[in-house]
Structures are given as C-alpha cells and as structure tokens.
Amino acid sequence: MNQEVKKAILGDGIISGYLSIFFSLLSLGAVVCFLFPEYLTTAEFRINYPIHIFRWMIFAGLLFSFLFAFLSLLLSKKAKFAFIGMTVSVAAIILGGSNIEVESFDQGAFSISLDWLVLEILALSLIFIPLELFFPKRENQSKFHPEWRTDLIYLFKAQLLIQYTAVAVKMPAEIFFSDLGMNEIQNLVSGLPFIVQLFLAMLVADLFQYFIHRLFHVNSFMWRFHSIHHSIRYVDWIAGSRLHLVDILITRSFSYIPLYVLGFSNDVFYFYVVIVALQAVTAHANARIPFGLLKYVFVTPQYHHWHHSKAKETHNKNFAIHFPFIDKMFGTYHLPLDDWPKEMGLEDETFPKGYLRQQIYPFFTDPRTSTPTDQSLR
C-alpha cells in the first residue's frame, strides 16, 4: 500500500481513478434512495430539499465519474480504477439514473438519512477536493496517506450521525425537558428573524460543545475516546471526521438538546445541522484559504489545526468549533499570527490501525499508558 500511496500524485491517473469510483458510488447510493425511500430517507430532512436538486446531483455525480474514469484511462497504464468507476456508474444508470421515478410510499418505522448523506458528501467533495488538490497548505502531504481508507469510513459515519443524532435526540429532549416552564422563552426565540435565530443557535451550540469538548480533554476516561480524533497525523477534510462513536453521540447530543429546549425553529435547527457539518470539514481542511480578518471571527483551518498540533502546549487550546472568542473568554485561545503547526498528532500515545480496532480500543486501553506488543497497533 505504501507504494500505491507514493504513486498517488497529480498526473498519474490514480487520483482520477479513485475519484471516478467515489462519485460513482455516491450516484449509486442516491439512486438506491429513490428505490427504497421509506427506509433510506428521513422525513425530517426530505422536506428540506427539492427533489430536482437530488436528480441534478445524481447527474453531476455520474458525469464526474465518467470524466474522471476517462482521465484515468488517459494517464494511467492500469485500467482497473476506471473500469470499476464506469461499471458502478452504468449500474446506477440501469437502475434509473437521474430519471428514476419515486412512487408513493409510507414512511418506514425505522429509516436512515442516506439521501442527506449522499447530498452532503457530494457537495463537500465538489468543494474540498479541488481546494486540497490545487491549493494545499501542506504541499508534501500525500493525497492518499496510509490511513485514508479508514478515514473515509469515518467520514461517511460521522456525516450520517450528525443528521441521525439530530433526529434521535428530539424525542427524548421533548419528553424530559417539556416541563421546564420555558414556554415564554421558546415563543420569544422562535419568533426571532431567521438570521438572528441562526446566530444564536450557533452561539448556544458552540458554548455547550466547548465545555463537553474540554471535558473530553481533561477527563482521563473520556480522553480515551477523543484521543482517536487527535491520533490524526495527516489532517485534511476527510481525516477530520475520525471520531469515536461515543465521542460523536455525546458531543452532538450536548450541542443539539439545548436548541430543542430553547425553542429554535425547525428550519433554523436543520440549517444549523448543515452548517456544523460544513464547519467541521472546513476546520480540518488542508487548504490555504485566505480568510483575512474573518479568521478572528470564525474558526478556520489555521485556528483548528493548532488544536491538532503535536506540540503539547497547544493540546488544550482552541476548543470552539464556530467562534474563537469563546476560547478567548475562557483562556484557551491560541492563534500565532500567520504561523501553522509543523507536525500533527500525538507523540507519546499509540493507537491501533483500522476502524473496528479503533472503536474497541478505548473501552479497554488507555493510549497514554499502553505500549502495544503488536507493531501494527503503532
């Protein structure tokens, strides 16, 4: 695999081959959503996008898949990546492609937001793949580092759980917090203009997220789970989703529940879900995006990359995910002008390779005190 990683550079056809497969799988996933909407789409999110946008996304995914497959055939002597991409795309077209019809259906008792996941991953890909390919901050960082396949699994899981947790916490929030006597506050909040509500939602969520994020750092048992995220040595838009299941569920619940309790409108809430997904990816991107003075207002890649720095003095800095001034308020702000951290990850802690191992590892092992005998765990 290391040889393959070294070859994955612009102009050799490998990157375009992988991109062909990537876009073909997203397109196929979107078509399958049309085939089984009662199980693979969620009503709460389905009402937030026009169906024609979904069709255009399928068309765009198939188009990019064939374009990258053709480019891979031109640049590479190996046709396997292009062949896989074209085969999956043809399967999506045979199943209906962008013209597939959706018949009337009853919502299933249980469903997953695969439609929203596909839309989100495709949109993020169209933004961040070109940014990291043509405007990378760390130009010597491989586009396909040794753990990119594991991180791709994390990306799909994390983005799916951002939406699923939003729906899952709604019912318990309404049950357990309905008798708090906050009707006046809820009516006041829900009556505010959309943009004001959105700003307040980001602020409230970031405050709650800040404290649970900080707790993950200072509590030794919780750190076991969060340290998986900080084990990233090649920080990019995909690797930023390397989060343990426990970490995601706790963090997202503590961010979402206050928004339900305070009475933010559904439109604001679901728009915020999109923002937090986009912000989480942006903060980890390996891209030199010129934010200018906005880097002092919003969390940027430079700001959050310091949180992932290998330098121990920055490990407990920059906990906010939206607004840096929250770190300023609590003494955890770190942004040295235009400097970026030189190395990422953790120096003295060891972690297993592979998604399943990393999910099991924190329950039984403290990475700060363990030295695995199996060298594959390093």
pTM above 0.75, yes or no: yes
CB neighbours (10 Å) of residue 139? 8
pLDDT of residue 306: 94
CB atoms under 10 Å from CB of 211, counted, come to 13
Given a contact cutoff of 8 angstroms between Cβ atoms, the answer to whether 367 and 351 are in contact is: yes
Kindly state the helix (H) or strand (E) to which residue 197 belongs, with its residue range: helix 194-218
Looking at residue 12, its pLDDT comes to 67
pLDDT in tens, the chain (378 residues): 344 444 455 556 788 888 899 999 999 998 998 888 888 887 766 776 677 877 888 898 899 999 999 999 988 777 888 999 999 999 999 999 988 877 777 766 667 778 878 888 888 888 898 888 888 888 877 777 778 889 889 988 887 777 677 777 777 776 777 667 778 888 899 899 999 999 999 999 999 999 999 999 999 999 999 999 999 888 999 988 899 999 988 998 889 889 988 989 988 988 898 898 889 899 999 988 888 889 999 999 999 999 999 988 888 999 999 999 999 999 999 998 888 998 888 877 778 888 999 999 999 888 877 654 444 444
Q: Is the dihedral of CA 157, 158, 159, 163 positive or negative?
A: positive
From CA 255, how far away is CA 317, in angstroms rounded? Answer: 19
pLDDT digits 0-9 by tens, 148-193: 889 889 988 887 777 677 777 777 776 777 667 778 888 899 899 9
Three-state SS sequence of 229-255: HHCCCCCCCCHHHCCCHHHHHHHHHHH
CB atoms within 10 A of CB 9: 12
The pLDDT of residue 252 is 87
pLDDT at 54: 79
Where are the extended beta strands (E) located within 204-331? none
pLDDT (0 to 100) of residue 239: 86
DSSP-assigned beta bridge partners for residue 274: none
Closest by Cα among 12, 10, 35 to 141: 10
